[in-house]
Amino acid sequence: MTSVRTQYLLPACICVLICAQVIAPVALADNNGFQQSPTAAGTALGEDATREIVKIIEQKHKELVESITKMMNEKTAALEKSLAEKDKRIAGLEKEVGRLKKELAAAAKPPAPPKPKPEPKPTNAFLGVGHIDNEAGAMVTTVHPGSPAAVAGMKENDLIVAVNGKKVNSESLGGAVTVHAPGTTITLDYMRGGKKAKAEVKLVDRDAFFAARSRKDSAEKEPGHIVLGITVEEDDEGLFAFQVEDGFTGKTAGVQKGDRITGVNGKAVKTLDELEALLKKIRSGQEVALRLVRGEETIDVVVVGSSDKGGAKLVSSKSTKAEAKPVKPAPEKKKDPPPEKKPEPAGFLGVGVGPVEGGLEVEIVVPDSAAAAYGIKVGDVIKQVNGKNTTSIEELRAALGGALAGAGAKVLLRRNGADVTLNLVLGARGQKVEAPKSAPAAPKPKEKPPEKPEKKSEVKGTLGIHARQTAEGQVVITKVIPGAAAEKAGIKAGDLVLKLGNKEVASLKDLQDGLGPLHAGESINLKIRRGDEEKDVKVTLGEPLSTGDED
């Protein structure tokens, strides 16, 4: 850039010098003011004067050139400094433009979506209640002693409706609890007797709770009573072992499925109540003597009982088989008396049942029994045996009438809303009953013959529900049969039955007795409670449903 500026400045300086040289001679004039020619001037002034003038002019010329050169150099330096500063400023602006372009490009891209929060892992938090589903929430069926729920005052039949203000049912209650860490305090909203209540519950660790309870139990001065670990069933002949669990006192004593338990510590037992009363008096670590009957064999066994699995020890076992009584020799002239006939074993149907509306619901079917052989299933409702109604266990026993093994029995039951009749042959307890060669056909939907209006009253009316009675005497509907009268009236599982007509319902028997005399087509008013709401429902009773058999 310096060379370009000098290119224009030097010619200007040369031009000025030439003009100065030309003007100097011309400026000389004679005394009269007229211009003289150089030659004349030189002659007049002399050669010395001329040289002196030339010397002065050269000196002035030199000074002028130096002055101009200095001035031009200063101007050039100032201009170059200004241009350098501008170049520096331009470079800074270009850098800033580049930065802004990068920011603009980054801003044009859409921001990355935030990563979803991971679902919280369930903890081992423990509330301490058992529960079943109810339309308005989770109905408490059990409260573990010493659990957070028990400490907070929760009771059986409380209806939990919310955890920390969030609604729950039986299915979601567990998740609403285990989302919190042990040690967290939660708020439960619940209903008790139709009134709203709240409870502050501090959760604990499940494993730590049961471990502490186990240590506490083992540290008690008085050990708990022994646990046989046997599922015992009661019939007309007494008690028999239906199932024996490994590791407990009964298994150590050698009890087998089908054995009859006839004595405990020298006392005869024939009922479950008698057995439980005796066992509660025997502490873990004490000896217990059991008498068992297995076929024709009587077994007396002594064992150190335990309330824990694996804690029992066998002390002794003695088996005695029934011996035939010796027959006295008859006189020679008299004939030998006929041999004594062994008593026929009692007939055994082979079901465990519980009372429901209209009969007894089958809860257990004993393998190899008559019930199993003829296709009776869990969930069937036995309505009649040999033409007699069976709404209780006592009525079922009376209907069988002490029949012996091999006797026939006609059983009317309800399955999936359809009536099924089975003609079966009873077996003996512990004896395998073979299935009949031709199994009873599945019931077909009944085709109702045309009936006269007046005959409809002869059919017993049904609600079409399953219900249970709580420890406090409340009747809770556990199931509503599809298509039945209750469903048509809007009744749902979990509803509490308060009144039937004008009569209070304080037990399952009250409900059964109230429905007993009613017939299909008759209407009855029910007062029910659903959550914290009570309402009256009018129900037109229906006939037993006949929708066919479904396996």
The C-alpha atoms of residue 288 and residue 302 are separated, in whole angstroms, by 6
Contact 536, 502 (CB under 8 A): no
What is the distance, to the nearest Å, from the Cα of residue 16 to the centroid of all Cα atoms in its chain? 108
The C-alpha atoms of residue 69 and residue 450 are separated, in whole angstroms, by 139
The C-alpha atoms of residue 356 and residue 354 are separated, in whole angstroms, by 7
| 357-373 tens-digit pLDDT | 888 888 778 888 888 88
- Helices 2-27, 47-108: axis angle to 10 degrees equals 160
Contact 395, 389 (CB under 8 A): yes
The C-alpha atoms of residue 44 and residue 254 are separated, in whole angstroms, by 169
Q: What is the pLDDT, as a whole number, of residue 182?
A: 92
Q: How far is CA 179 from CA 122, 132, 235, 333, 410, in A?
A: 5, 20, 48, 93, 55
Of 443, 421, 492, 420, whose CA–CA distance to 463 is shortest?
Answer: 492
CATH class for the domain made up of 230-321: mainly beta
The C-alpha atoms of residue 67 and residue 50 are separated, in whole angstroms, by 26
Q: What is the pLDDT, as a whole number, of residue 217?
A: 52
Name 304's bridge partners.
Answer: 287, 313
Contact 382, 411 (CB under 8 A): yes
The pair phi, psi for residue 431, each rounded to 5°, is -95, 135
Helices assigned H by DSSP within 162-239: 170-178, 206-219
The C-alpha atoms of residue 470 and residue 506 are separated, in whole angstroms, by 10
Q: What is the pLDDT, as a whole number, of residue 402?
A: 78
Helices assigned H by DSSP within 138-257: 148-151, 170-178, 206-219, 249-252
What is the distance, to the nearest Å, from the Cα of residue 122 to the centroid of all Cα atoms in its chain? 10
The pair phi, psi for residue 221, each rounded to 5°, is -65, -40
Domain boundaries, the chain: 2-106, 125-207, 230-321, 347-428, 457-540
CATH class for the domain made up of 347-428: mainly beta
What's the pTM?
Answer: 0.28
Q: Tell me, what amino acid is at 498?
A: L
The architecture that CATH gives domain 457-540 is Roll (2.30)
Q: What is the pLDDT, as a whole number, of residue 132?
A: 79
Domain 125-207 CATH assignment equals 2.30.42.10: yes
Q: What is the pLDDT, as a whole number, of residue 456?
A: 47
What is the Cβ-side half-sphere exposure of residue 232, based on CA atoms within 13 angstroms?
23
Contact 477, 465 (CB under 8 A): yes
What are the structure tokens assigned to 94, written together? Answer: 């270009």
Tell me, what DSSP letter sits at residue 23? H
Helices assigned H by DSSP within 327-423: 370-373, 393-400
What are the structure tokens assigned to 182, written together? Answer: 């042990």
The C-alpha atoms of residue 293 and residue 238 are separated, in whole angstroms, by 11
Q: What is the pLDDT, as a whole number, of residue 29?
A: 41
What is the distance, to the nearest Å, from the Cα of residue 45 to the centroid of all Cα atoms in its chain? 134
The SS3 assignment for 315 reads strand
Contact 435, 443 (CB under 8 A): no
Same fold, 230-321 and 347-428: yes
Q: What is the H or E stretch that residue 468 is in? A: strand 465-469
Q: What is the pLDDT tens value at each position of the chain, 551 positions in all?
A: 444 444 455 555 555 555 555 444 544 444 444 444 455 444 555 788 888 888 899 898 899 999 899 999 999 888 988 888 998 899 889 989 888 888 887 776 666 677 766 666 778 889 988 877 777 888 888 788 889 999 999 998 899 999 999 999 888 888 899 899 999 999 999 999 888 999 999 999 988 887 777 566 555 545 677 888 887 777 777 888 877 888 889 899 899 988 999 999 989 998 878 888 888 888 888 888 999 999 888 999 999 988 888 888 888 888 887 654 454 554 555 555 555 555 677 788 888 777 888 888 887 788 888 888 898 988 899 999 988 898 887 888 888 887 888 888 899 989 988 899 999 888 887 788 887 765 444 444 444 444 444 444 567 788 888 888 876 678 888 888 888 888 888 898 888 888 988 888 888 888 888 888 888 888 888 898 887 788 888 988 887 654 333 32
Q: How far is CA 123 from CA 144, 170, 183, 202, 277, in A?
A: 19, 18, 11, 14, 41
Q: What is the pLDDT, as a whole number, of residue 458?
A: 63
The C-alpha atoms of residue 93 and residue 126 are separated, in whole angstroms, by 67
Q: What is the pLDDT, as a whole number, of residue 199?
A: 93
| 37-47 tens-digit pLDDT | 455 444 555 78
CA torsion, points 11, 15, 18, 22, in degrees to nearest 10?
170
Kindly write down the DSSP assignment for every residue of 93-160, as one continuous string. HHHHHHHHHHHHHHHHSPPPPPPPPPPPPP--EE--EEEEEETTEEEEEEE-TTSHHHHTT--TT-EE
Residues 6+ apart with CB under 8 A from 326: none
What are the structure tokens assigned to 192, written together? Answer: 């008790």
Q: What is the pLDDT, as a whole number, of residue 34?
A: 44
